Amino acid sequence: MADRVLVTGVSGFIGGHLAAELLRRGYSVRGSVRSPSRIGEVHTAMAAAGVEPADLDICRLDLLSDQGWAEAAAGCRYVLHVASPFVLEKPKDPYTLIRPATEGATRAVGAALDAGAERVVMTSALATMQFARTPKGHICTDSDWTDPDDPRLNAYTVSKVRAERAARELAQRRGAQDRLAVVNPGAVIGPLLTDDPGTSVTAIQQIMSGALPMVPDLRLPWVDVRDVADVHIAAMSSAHAGGRRTIIATDPMSLIEVAGVIRERLPQASHKLPKRAMPTWFTWLASAFEPQLRDNRWLIGQKQRFDRTPAETLLGHPLRPVPDAIEETGRSLAERRLI
């Protein structure tokens, strides 16, 4: 009988790729959605990934409710907690993000430990490390922690820090530190399985659609969603991942460089691409009026570096080249007429 894996947030971009890869490898998957209305999307995603969903069953779980968590985790050898709230616009009350992220993390970890799961792998974010106050030229590692009380942070980043800390503290109280592994991805892109572009893919969608005639000099640590899925699966059983945080991200590439990759590799979809980046002074001026830019203006022109060695050790090979991931993202957006 195939090992069963619970994947929370299976209708999301990472969750869909993760479920598909698990099925491809012969696991039985139980995936959770918040609303039954998204079940059809999950089946569509599995078909797009070329897998047969016979070994996939779907349950309903809410990050803010205890209902169903024990039943969902029962009989699962591994639990992969991918689900997390996200909004594109800054909420008036940051706790609309912080509370479900934190409570969802503790519900998932608690249910996994109660059910006897060998390992629970939690999807966190590079943001829980990359905004730590460090010296210039510092290479970010798993020992770095973003301060959730830093006034520069947006609600999303605070929610990720507090959720990861809550999960780790719960595992520690239960004496189960080695049964929790955390994966911290950067900006996740790659081929789409549905018409929902996900969070980071939206940045490429805006570049290709002409929504950004000029782009700010923001540099993002892109990573292919398939590598993210593979690292989650490797972390399920690897002794090296137990009790650890694993960065999976590349050294950042600017938005104008992303546009250059698309122009070179997908010329047929390049007619709306921006040709230049905003001057730094103009970006700072514009950030006074644009909330999303204001939340990220401290990254303008920044050239951060990240230690991806542990992720590549888990994978057994280097991360996929970012230009390839950008090309496949752009191709998916064009083929689905999302630009």
CA distance 137 to 277: 24
- Of 90, 92, 136, 160, the catalytic one is 160
Phi, psi of 137 (to 5 degrees): 90, 0
Instruction: Please tell me what DSSP assigns to residue 193.
Output: S
CA distance 299 to 179: 34
- Count the neighbouring beta carbons within 10 Å of the beta carbon of residue 4: 20
For every residue of 323-337, DSSP letters joined together read HHHHHHHHHHHHHTT
Can 303 be counted among the known catalytic residues?
no
Phi, psi of 265 (to 5 degrees): -95, -25
CA distance 61 to 9: 9
Report the phi/psi class of residue 297: left, alpha or beta, with left for phi > 0 and alpha for psi in -120 to 50. Answer: alpha
Q: Which residues are catalytic?
A: 160
